Chain A
Amino acid sequence: MALLAGCAMLSQLFPSESPYRPDDISDAAVRLPGAESFIAGIALKDLIDEERAETAKMGGLGPDGGVRDPDGGGSSEDGGWDHVAAFIARCFQDPATYEVWVDLDRAARRWKVIVLPEAPCTVKIIGGGAEYEIDADTYEILHRERME
């Protein structure tokens, strides 16, 4: 009994966290920690920018900046822009394709970030993720490596 009473007193001293939830958001809204979100965003933006640049090199971007529809000029292996090339480009340029893991080192100097393809469009595709190291003070990308 005394133990239970003690626990009750302790819980009053240290109430469990119940974060404020803004009124004007839907049930689907997600709460994200700021630092982790920011670091994940840096890595994800870098990766998607690279994907867009590679797609542009292959002639796969349309005038509006989006992935253009396939043409009939050969396969992607021959340098053409076919259905497979357009499908992969759309998939890997979409942030929703990825999940991101972030980890701050013990000295709080560097973030390790791992970006992994997760969406159904990536199921048959090998590679496509990336690993980053990001400076915890300057937010500079110190190292990037594409997974194979």
Chain B
Amino acid sequence: MVRGNTGPSYSDLDAAAVAACDWLWAHQSEAKRWEYCGVLYREEAGGGIRVGLPERGDRAWRCFPRDPPEATVFLGRYHNHRFTAEPSGDDKKRAQKEPSLGHYLCAPSGLVRRISAKEGTVNVR
């Protein structure tokens, strides 16, 4: 289970993803050369969206986010890339297989991108 969250809550999933990426780049200096990932979840009905603390990947190119806390609603995942702002084939495949979740990429340029099979890749910042 995820180790905690970044503190604030957000009313919008895109806003939560932008905050997640900001937190990641501000607090994980290694993220320029290592992949991190985390989850976005709602704590209670009508409550705000929380950003789970990012996990460090087991490899520089791969990451295993822990599950959100019990009794919360799992809404999406975020992860960073070290070099590119383009979603990988793996990212696109995951978005296609799990269309009900939000899939966000924290690009090293500062872009935050939402990946979905329906819309393609959309910059949310």
| Interfacial residues, chain A to chain B (CB-CB below 8 A) | 54, 76-77, 84-85, 88, 92, 114, 116-117, 124-129, 131, 146-148
Contact = CB atoms under 8 A, between A and B. Distances in A.
A54 B37 contact: no
A86 B93 CA distance: 25
A128 B37 CA distance: 13
Contacts of A76: 58
Interface string B56-87: 11110111110100000000010101111000
B59 A147 contact: no
State the majority secondary structure of interface residues on A: mixed
B63 A127 contact: yes
B62 A125 contact: yes
The 7 A-B pairs at the shortest CB distance, nearest first, are namely A147-B88, A127-B62, A146-B61, A147-B90, A129-B90, A128-B62, A126-B79
Contact of A127 (B61, B67, B83): B61
A76 B77 CA distance: 21
Given A114-B89, A127-B90, A128-B90, A147 B61 contact: yes
A91 to B, nearest CB: 10
Contacts of A124: 64-65, 67
B58 A147 contact: no
A77 B56 contact: yes
B77 A54 contact: no
B58 A85 contact: yes
6 contacts: A88-B62, A125-B62, A126-B77, A127-B59, A148-B84, A148-B91
